[in-house]
Amino acid sequence: MGDISFLNCAPLRWGLAHSGAREQFDMVSGPPEWLAGELLAGRLDAGPVSLARYLRHTDAWELLPDGVAIGSDGPVHSCHIVSRAPLDNLDGAVVALSEASRSTTLLARILLEDAVGVRPVYRSVPQNLDDMLDIADAAVLIGDEALRLHARPPAGLRIQDTGALWRGWTGLPMVFAVWVVRREVAREHPLAVRALAASLTDAAERAGAHPEAVARAAAAESARSPGGRLSEQVLVDYYRVLDYSLGDRQLAAMSEFRRRAAARGELTEERSLHPATPPVPGGRS
């Protein structure tokens, strides 16, 4: 099973470790685009991928039964458009897009062009704010580096949270990533897939019931990264807004995101987005 090596998945790591389910899975951690490559190559059976990636590969992957996602109903704290000038000044400007992201970069392009009404020029580059702003007027970033910008906004920069912008524009939550399973694996091992989904849902619930302990563990994890330790309060606030559920509102949000992307000629796959019906335990599958 894959695991995103960002702090957005620290509560699930904590929950899986505390339920004892962690040992049942062979877990590999990495950035979301690397996990997507491993899934496509068949080296990984299940894991979290960027929503935009999933929408391009609905032929190869299905959503975990009952659904597990990374989303927010409003600000997400870690997926931003960072700029010196207001967004409506970005017409004709250069916007650097993080190569680590598929969903937020597409969402930012939709927001800039269709909600704000500007037409920037885009450049996909490795994620690093300083390097990005050397070559561009604005940058789209995700993950821990973006969370650090939210926690300590640098002087002179505007940190525009794409979850908040999307919510303000559409009234919907945003789903940034979803857990998928390869179709062959879902067909051949339906009960194992169901157990995996149940373990992840349980981990999210457990973590939600212990916000301070989770924030403490995540702060310790953040201290081991080059960006340095994030405060427990920043992490408590982060996990209060992050939502791992994939219910009707999130599915509606995914459809709306796909519809708006398709209107631009992107992500035109027609398959239903609903998670597969979980097989009945002990029943024929």
Ligand X SMILES: C=C(O[C@@H]1C=C(C(=O)O)C=C[C@H]1O)C(=O)O
Helix then strand count (H, E) for the chain reads 12, 12
Residue 137 DSSP one-character state: S
Asked if 227 contacts 28 with a C-beta cutoff of 8 angstroms, the reply is no
What is the per-residue binding string for ligand X in 187-206, x denoting contact by CB under 6 A? Answer: --------------------
CA 3 vs CA 39, 87, 170: distances in Å = 12, 33, 30
Residue nearer to ligand X on the CB measure, 24 or 255: 255
- Interacting residues with ligand X between 239 and 268 (CB under 6 A): none
By the rule CB under 6 A, 102 interacts with ligand X? yes
**Taking the complex as a whole, how short is the minimal distance between the CB of residue 137 and ligand X, in angstroms?**
20
Strands 28-30, 138-142: pairing kind? unpaired
Contacting ligand X within 12-41 (CB under 6 A): 32
Output Rg (C-alpha) for the chain, integer angstroms: 18
How many angstroms separate the CA atoms of 145 and 127, rounded? 9
| Binder of ligand X out of 47, 143, 173, 275 (CB under 6 A) | 143
Please give the residues from 36 up to 55 whose contact with ligand X meets the rule CB under 6 A: 50
User: ∠ CA 280-206-281 to the nearest 5 degrees?
Assistant: 10
Please identify, using beta-carbon distances, which residue of 96 and 194 lies nearer to ligand X: 96
Q: Would you count residue 79 as binding ligand X (CB under 6 A)? A: yes
Q: How far is the CB of 105 from ligand X (least distance, A)?
A: 7
CB of 227 to ligand X, least distance (A): 13
Residue 42 backbone class (left: φ over 0; alpha: ψ -120 to 50; beta: rest):
left
Which residues make up the interface to ligand X (CB under 6 A)?
4, 6, 8, 32, 50, 70, 76, 78-79, 101-104, 142-143, 146, 176-177
